[in-house]
Amino acid sequence: MSVEIERKFLVRGSEWRALGQGVAIRQGYLSPHPDRVVRVRIEGETATLTIKGRTRGITRSEWEYVIPLAEADQLLNDLCERPLIEKMRTHITHEGMVWEVDEFFGDNLGLVVAEIELESEEQAFSQPDWVAEEVTDDVRYFNANLLLHPYTAW
């Protein structure tokens, strides 16, 4: 088991687009329950099955396993809740730390968020100019909740 410690922010403007190359992500949920999220993801040519526990503060337990691409595709097509989450992820390094910017499509079109993974909840970091309001504690922005309450319906 590993631990995920991350903070999430809205993104302003479009200057971030020139700072990295995006990769397409298609993901779905076998269980969006906050106590045990089970996610299937295809990111580029890699597929993973991820299990996450309940978020406490900005920390949650996480288990992630690489699975065959064909099996992930079958799980996404046949078993995952609808709608699937479709997004483009761009990795951007800012002052030695990697930010993941997710631009959503489909039922979440128009939403752009940036996440930064930390080593501890107290770890300091510098925010790029294109990072706006923090939404870490706003459950509407959890990917599992975006399938239940898509951004375009807010």
- By annotation, the residues acting in catalysis are 29
* Degrees, nearest 5: CA angle 58-118-88: 90
Residues 53/84/143/154 CA torsion (nearest 10 deg): -140
CB 20 within 8 A of CB 40: no
Which token pair is 42?
């295809």
CB 106 within 8 A of CB 84: yes
For residue 26, the tally of other CB atoms under 10 A from its CB is 19
CA atoms within 13 A on the CB side of 37: 24
Handedness of CA 103, 67, 149, 131 (dihedral sign): negative
